Amino acid sequence: MGAGAVEAFLEMLAAERGAAANTLAAYGADLADFAAFAAHAGYDVAHADPVLAAAYLADLARRGLSARTQARRLSALRQFHRFLLSEGRREDDPTGGLDAPRLPKSLPMALERAEVAALLATAAARADPSGAMVLAALELLYAAGLRVSELLALPRAALAAQGETIRVRGKGGRERMVPLSAASRAAAAAWLALAPASRWLFPGRDPRRAMTRQGFARALKDLALAAGLYPALVSPHVLRHSFATHLLEGGADLRSLQMLLGHADIATTEIYTKVAGERLARLVGTHHPLAAPAAAGGGLPGRPSRA
């Protein structure tokens, strides 16, 4: 049953969620790794129990895989077993009691620029109101660094004037003016042309109420899957962190970043200096010629090594 169940799951991702080929390949590889672990323990991949699932997660940590990779593998397992549950192929989800590995709280996770671009391009390619909605929301989260609570509380009138800034009410009732990019204004205008009549910029199923966090989270995770990203690693908060990290990498100063994010204390903003520093260190470690392994005696290409 195991191989057939995995194949059926991947077919569902492609047909119902529009998963890209790279996404399907990644899910397939993650489930193949779990299948090998299960087989070694005498289990079929589709008949895992909570003890086996917990043992697999512990094995990932013993292998030295990063917390982000462990979280991605767990996300794949959860979606696979929830699929089996929804299809009536089993009666429980063995991953239900497992906690995802926590990334260090002092280092907010940020997406790479290419990952954000993939999300935006996937949303823009959708020719339906849901695509216009999630594109406008993404632009505001990433281009303006809004919190999800700030995003969903925006009234429709906040963007009706087509201004270059938007007034946002943040934590503690503090208001700030946030500049809008041309792309975010265009995306918002396209969504307003299709949105149902409501006082909210992003109404819920009942237009009298704003969209819930849960409803938006589902839409964002479906988009992440279609864009080839693991849904568990994409959230409104991650997009806000990406906004801050990418601005700082581009040369923004901390005080300006503090104002844009709406932080009451600049110490909260300072964490991004460490995030940006570590990302730049990884960049140098990957691409600088002196960081490459000295496979042929060391030194730069064309330059003799010293004895």
Residues 6+ apart with CB under 8 A from 21: none
Of residues 144 and 107, more confidence is placed in 144
Q: Both tokens of residue 183?
A: 């792309």
Does residue 240 carry a catalytic annotation? yes
Does residue 237 carry a catalytic annotation? yes
* CATH topology assigned to domain 2-86: DNA polymerase; domain 1 (1.10.150)
**With bands split at pLDDT 50, 70 and 90, how would you rate the model's confidence at 289?**
low
Average pLDDT (29-40) is: 93
Question: Locate tokens 């140098």: which residue?
Answer: 284
Its pTM stands at 0.58
Q: Using CA atoms, how far apart are residues 4 and 169, in angstroms rounded to an integer?
A: 51
Residue of 73, 185, 221, 240 marked active site: 240
CATH fit for domain 113-261, picks 3.40.50.300, 1.10.3470.10, 1.10.443.10, 2.40.50.140:
1.10.443.10
Give, as one character, the DSSP assignment of residue 297.
Answer: S
Q: Are 56 and 99 contacting, i.e. CB atoms less than 8 angstroms apart?
A: no
Q: CATH 1.10.150: which residues of the chain?
A: 2-86
Residue of 171, 209, 255, 282 marked active site: 171
User: Given this model, what pLDDT does residue 251 score?
Assistant: 76
Does residue 303 carry a catalytic annotation? no
User: Given this model, what pLDDT does residue 223 score?
Assistant: 92
Q: In the chain, pLDDT over 70 holds for what percent of residues?
A: 81
Residue of 81, 241, 246, 263 marked active site: 263
Residue of 47, 68, 147, 169 marked active site: 147
Residue of 27, 142, 230, 272 marked active site: 272
**With bands split at pLDDT 50, 70 and 90, how would you rate the model's confidence at 268?**
low
Q: Which of 65-69, 178-182, 294-298 has the lowest mean pLDDT?
A: 294-298
Q: CATH 1.10.443.10: which residues of the chain?
A: 113-261
Residue 111 predicted with pLDDT over 80 = yes
User: Given this model, what pLDDT does residue 296 score?
Assistant: 42
Residues 6+ apart with CB under 8 A from 4: none
Does residue 230 carry a catalytic annotation? no
Residue 169 predicted with pLDDT over 90 = no
Does residue 62 carry a catalytic annotation? no
Q: How far is the CA of 284 from the CAs of 80, 128, 290, in angstroms?
A: 38, 42, 9
Of residues 58 and 128, more confidence is placed in 58
Residue of 113, 167, 174, 237 marked active site: 237
Q: In the chain, pLDDT over 90 holds for what percent of residues?
A: 29
Average pLDDT (117-133) is: 91
Question: Locate tokens 């991702």: which residue?
Answer: 13
